[in-house]
Chains A and B, each alone.
Chain A
Amino acid sequence: MKKSWIESESKKWVEEGIIDESQKEAIASRYERQSTPMLFFFLAAVLIGLACLSLIAANWTSIHHLWRVVLIIGAMLSFYFVGARAFMHNRQGIGVFAFVVALSIFGAGIFLLGDMYHFSMNSAFAFLVWGLAVLLIYLSQPQVFIWIFGLVVVFIGQFVSTMQLHDFDWLLMALFVVGYGTVGYFIKQQNLMWLFTSLLSILLLAFSIQELTYYWYTIFALILYLFSYIIKTGVVSKPLQGVSILSMFIIVVYQALFFNWGWQPVVNDIVYYLFLIPFLSLAVLLAVLNRERFGAIQIVLFLPVFVWPEFSTLLAALVLFAFSIGKMIEGDQLEDSRKEKLGIIAFLISVSIVYVEVAWLVLDRTLFFLIGGIILFIVGLLLNRYQQNQMKGSDDHDST
């Protein structure tokens, strides 16, 4: 929330006599000014790093090999020196900036030297060394932006290795999960955990697609979901559950849309079911034990809809409807408007998918878009009326 907004709003509350001056100060003090300069320093570091990279790359061939090495190591050490001095004088922004530039030079140095001396770069080893260096620097100077930088380096390394080199690097994955994951856990910031879990789920999906078959991602998402019960801290469990549910929603949407196009897998893999059935049962059991009536409903997303090939598209659509209606009811019961909105969005997506699936094959194209537009208009009208009723209800509640 914006601090300036709180200040201007609270001024009105004081004038209207809702709160007094001391209460206003107390409320305003709860909302710290966000450290925007830090973000600018971080982005500046990234841009200057890129500029240095392209400048040197343009004139690279005319410089002698050994001078190039001196240039890389010299530039890296200078930025480390500037960064260390800045941290000593308590100038965190400049310190982070200098360290991120130095780490960028180190990473670029590995690739440039590799190119100069004809190293074979068809593995993620360079990213492993780079990611380790960033983690060590983070441990010496625990600044969130350095952690984010390292996380992105390791993520890109793993993604490139898996998708382009067709080689999922387990050491890099260990660094991502054990190194960066553990540090992220101790930072205890929920938005950072959202970032970590989202990148992790993308890597797991890439692994499933390249090394196994895409549907194995269900097992990994289910493990993330179960971990949200084991690690009870809200900072970690919410992103774990959120990312696993959201990614599974996308997977089911994919299944509902593309199975009809001949992309449906034939799953005879007993091992897959040997993992899926116990994990699914455990998820239901945990939801029941934790008295989460709606927890059990969202688990429908993990169901293997391809188990019944003739009706798998229909099953996928039913799963989407069950999930979205479940979320809407959950939001209504718990008076949680965020969940309610999520349910409405999920419901809209489900309706659109079923409409596309059925109508695209049957209807003429013009009619298809026209009816689609009308359906969306009616849904929009209904949502609008629903929201107005909600607001009216809350006003009535306030007046009584």
Chain B
Amino acid sequence: MIRRRVFLIAVALQIVVLLFMVTSSYALDRFGKVITIQTEAYDTEDVFYGDYVHLSYLAETVRSENWFATDDVRSNQQIYVLFTPDEQGSIILRQHLIVK
């Protein structure tokens, strides 16, 4: 009887996990705030792949004047960043902090 209950709970939890992933994404679409991030293209020509466009976000780049933390950053370390809109309303990275 207990095993049956554990089985039902285990299956139910798995469904909850999967549904949570789906609904949280739609909730973000419904209730989240839309921001505009400027993209930039690079490497538009390649000997092997031909012409193609690879886009990256401008906000991903940290300019040296915005760097306020130490240089000692480990790979995969969490970094908190502050985004603010620029004159055109596009979001850029203003500041970032490292939480040890």
Given contacts A106-B14, A133-B14, contact A69 B7 (CB under 8 A): no
**Contact at B76–A166, with CB atoms within 8 Å?**
yes
- Tell me whether B9 and A166 are in contact (CB under 8 A): no
Complex CA–CA separation, A166 to B78 (angstroms): 12
Known contacts A136-B9, A140-B3; is A113 also within 8 Å of B21 by CB? Answer: yes
Complex-state Cα separation, A106 to B6, whole angstroms: 17
- Let me know if A317 is at the binding interface, CB within 8 A: no
Q: Establish whether residues B10 and A140, one from each chain, have CB atoms under 8 Å apart when the complex forms.
A: yes
Docked-complex contact B7 and A133, CB < 8 angstroms = no
* Residues of chain A contacted by B7 (CB below 8 angstroms): 84, 137, 140-141
B18 in the interface (beta carbon within 8 A): yes
Within 8 A of A (CB), among B17-52: 17-19, 21-22, 24-25
A82 to chain B, nearest CB (A): 13
Does any Cβ of A come within 8 Å of B4's Cβ? yes
Which of A71-79, A175-183, A366-374, A390-398 lies on the face that meets chain B? A71-79
Q: Of all chain B residues, which has the CB nearest A88?
A: B4
Cβ of A117 within 8 Å of any chain B Cβ, yes or no, is yes
A167 within 8 Å of B by Cβ?
yes
Cα–Cα, bound, A165→B77 (Å)? 10
Output the nearest chain B residue to A133 by Cβ-Cβ distance.
Answer: B14
Task: From known contacts A72-B18, A73-B15, A109-B18, infer whether A166 and B74 are also in contact, taking CB-CB under 8 Å.
Answer: yes
Nearest-CB distance from A210 to chain B (Å)?
10
* A113–B18 CB distance below 8 A: yes
B79 within 8 A of A: no
Cα distance A117–B76 in the bound complex, in angstroms:
22
Alpha-carbon separation in the docked complex, A80 to B10 (Å): 11
What is the bound-complex CA distance between A141 and B8, given in angstroms? 11
Residues of A within 8 A of B25 (CB): 117-119
- State whether A119 touches B3 (Cβ < 8 A): no
Complex Cα spacing A139 to B21, Å: 25
Interface centre among B4, B7, B74 (most CB of A within 10 A): B7
User: Is A53 part of the binding interface, using a Cβ–Cβ cutoff of 8 Å?
Assistant: no
In the complex, what's the smallest C-beta–C-beta distance from A112 to chain B, in angstroms? 10
Minimum C-beta distance from B30 to chain A (A): 13
On chain A, the residues within 8 Å of B17 by CB distance are: 110, 129, 133
Please name all residues of chain A whose beta carbon is closer than 8 Å to the beta carbon of B18 when the two chains form the complex: 69, 72-73, 106, 109-110, 113
Please indicate the chain A residues that have their CB under 8 angstroms from the CB of B14 in the complex: 76, 106, 133
Interface residues of B (CB under 8 A from A): 3-4, 6-7, 9-11, 13-15, 17-19, 21-22, 24-25, 74-76
Pick 17 A–B contacts, CB within 8 A, sort by A: A69-B19, A76-B14, A80-B11, A84-B7, A113-B18, A113-B21, A117-B21, A117-B25, A129-B17, A133-B13, A133-B17, A136-B9, A139-B6, A139-B10, A141-B3, A141-B7, A167-B76
User: 5 shortest A-B CB distances, which residue pairs?
Assistant: A140-B7, A136-B10, A117-B25, A140-B6, A113-B21
User: Which residues of A line the B interface, CB within 8 A?
Assistant: 66, 69, 72-73, 76-77, 80, 84, 106, 109-110, 113-114, 117-119, 122, 129, 133, 136-137, 139-141, 165-167
